[in-house]
Amino acid sequence: MAEQAGGKAQIDFLCVEDGCGGVVKFDLMSLAQDDFQVLCPKCHKPYQFDAELRGKLLKLKNLITAVREAEPILGDCNVAVAVAGGEVKIPYALLLTRLNTMITLCLGDKSVDFHLWIEPSSADTFR
């Protein structure tokens, strides 16, 4: 596996084990490995994701990769939000760095919120 150049996309979620409360973290890019497994740091419950869940998370990875490729123009992109009396422009880069992305997926019979943390591959991107 070739290492992704710069930047990190980290996922974390709360362990589903009752009363554990451990925060399980992993690098989204490592999900592509066939033998991918992550352990809860607190109760050491192993997590292996089924094909469907891996597929969804990999789609998220592709989205991030696409966003990363667009980094050079992100500084010029804005999201317009309609508010009372006008429109507010929010820089796209701000959306990525200041707002947390979250994807809610089913893990077994439980619904789990996966939080996504993105670091730009270049420190110059989000000035």
Which parts of this chain interact with Zn ion (CB under 5 A)?
A: 15, 17, 20, 22, 40, 42-43, 45
Cβ nearer to Zn ion, comparing 28 with 40: 40
Nearer to Zn ion (CB atom), residue 19 or residue 85: 19
Minimum gap (Å) between residue 42 Cβ and Zn ion? 5
Q: In whole angstroms, how close is the CB of 28 to Zn ion at the nearest point?
A: 20
For residues 62 and 111, which CB has a smaller minimum distance to Zn ion in the complex?
Answer: 111
- The one-letter amino acid code at 122 reads S
Nearest approach, Cβ of residue 36 and Zn ion (Å): 18
Residue 92's closest CA among 68, 56, 108, 123? 68
Closer to Zn ion at the Cβ: 39 or 105? Answer: 39
CA distance 35 to 59: 18
Least Å distance between CB 52 and Zn ion? 22
Which residue, 35, 14, 33, is CA-closest to 24?
A: 14
**Is 104 in a helix, a strand, or coil?**
strand
- Range 66-91 burial, b when 16+ CB lie within 10 A, else e: ebbeebeebeeebeeeeeeeeeeeeb
